[in-house]
Amino acid sequence: MRDARDLKASIRQKALMQGVYSDIRIVDVTRVLAGPYATMILAQLGAEVIKVEAPDGEDSRRLPPFWGGESTTYLAVNQNKKSVALDLKQVAALESLRRIIDRSDVFIESFKPGTAERLGLGYDELVKRNPKLIYCSISAFGPGPLGKDMPGYDALLQAFSGILKSTGHPGQPPARIGPSAIDLSSGMWATIQIMAALAKRERATGPQKLEVALIDASLNLMCHQVMTALATGRSPEPQGSGAPSVAPYEVFQVGDGELMVAAGNDKLFRQLCREVGLADLPSDPRFCDMAGRVDNRNALHAIVEERLKTDTADNWLDRLGKAGVPAGRMNGIADAIADPLVAERALIVPCPTEANPDLKLLRLPLGPLSVEPTPPPSLGQHTEEILLSTASGVRPG
């Protein structure tokens, strides 16, 4: 009994060294951000991810700007994968893809609903060939009669979900949030579902069908605003840099620029007021509790900002930090990644290639479970390797 336990522990430790999913193969026919982000996470956890693209490559390869001849968008979400180029308009290529899926654990697609079935890559057909397959579909509004034909881009979902209308400054046109948060969070939800399905497979046999829709992810990003709308019937209004339920919690002008101040509770508000010379302000009936401060945020902002303009950002960061008031400087992304804190966290990882010896990648926050990053593959880099291994019946290492 002890020998069996020791052997099992040894196998588990070896798997962790190689990556927790080192024995898992995933076939990925998604494109741009949501699906590729999901499979990149799993690849960084050790899975073999076969990225199947058209002979001219998937859309993200053509998005500017470029670094070393590759799109930075493509580079961002395709680490640790293998690329196979197949023309799925050709019968032979489709059959080659089916044979690869036959010997894989997960298939993930982001075709327009109905397209996979027309190609012979639908759930029913593939699970007949591979009865243990985990089949994951990503779409914009789901496969139902109302959603199946609706187009799916992050900006359209920001508009649909209310994110766009709640962002920006009062009285100004709506502002799209900079990150493609709906695409990327949809990718995370796909990853979570696939990981749960892999865990379930240890206890149950048979195929599993998973579904991720960008509409679901978009409303979940607005979860507390959704609850407010359910309770009050009202949509949140644009708050600029502020938050709908907290004040002061926004950007202020200071003597030489801007500063984000996040006084998120009564204690922090009192500490802020003492440090800026407004110790009596918390006793003002308009500002004595959070609800009052939110209702009177514009008046509060003007009073606090007048004091903050009397000193520089660096001095206020020092003073507020010593007073225990959360505050931070306003960075551009280039400023943020140059900050010593990013180096301390080892978030930027050198990953040179022959074509781009200066290539660096953003580390995924997977801790010790992550495998070493490898550069995103060139188009069709692994086509011959994968097709030959499929024909021989041996998975490549």
Strands 257-262 and 327-329: antiparallel
Position 3 scores a pLDDT of 58
Position 16 scores a pLDDT of 47
For residue 348, list its beta bridge partners. Answer: 362
Strands 81-85 and 48-53: parallel
Distance separating alpha carbons of residues 107 and 85, to the nearest angstrom: 16
Among 370, 356, 390, which residue's Cα sits nearest to residue 40?
Answer: 370
Q: Which domains does the chain have, with CATH numbers?
A: 2-222+349-392 (3.40.50.10540), 249-331 (3.30.1540.10)
Angle between helices 154-161 and 214-221 (to 10 degrees): 50
Say if residues 58 and 207 touch (Cβ distance below 8 Å): no
SS3 content of the chain, % helix, strand, coil (to 5): 45, 15, 40
**At 137, is the secondary structure helix, strand, or coil?**
strand
Active site residues: 183
CB atoms under 10 Å from CB of 294, counted, come to 18
Q: Render each residue's pLDDT in the chain as its tens digit; 397 residues.
A: 455 555 555 545 554 457 899 999 999 999 999 999 999 999 999 999 999 999 999 999 999 999 999 999 999 999 999 999 999 999 999 999 999 999 999 999 999 999 999 999 999 999 999 999 999 999 999 999 999 999 889 999 999 999 999 998 888 998 899 999 999 999 999 999 999 999 999 887 899 999 999 999 999 999 999 999 999 999 988 888 888 889 999 999 999 999 999 999 999 999 999 999 999 999 999 999 999 999 999 999 999 999 999 999 999 999 999 999 999 999 999 999 999 999 999 999 999 999 999 999 999 999 999 999 999 999 999 999 999 988 876 665 5
For residue 67, list its beta bridge partners. Answer: 70
Among 93, 82, 92, 91, which residue's Cα sits nearest to residue 26?
Answer: 82
Position 237 scores a pLDDT of 85
* Helix spans in 313-382 (H): 313-322, 333-338, 340-344
Contacts of 324 (CB under 8 A, 6+ apart): 268, 271
Position 240 scores a pLDDT of 86
What is the pTM assigned to this prediction? Answer: 0.90
Q: Which phi and psi angles does 181 have, rounded to 5°?
A: -65, -30
Position 284 scores a pLDDT of 97
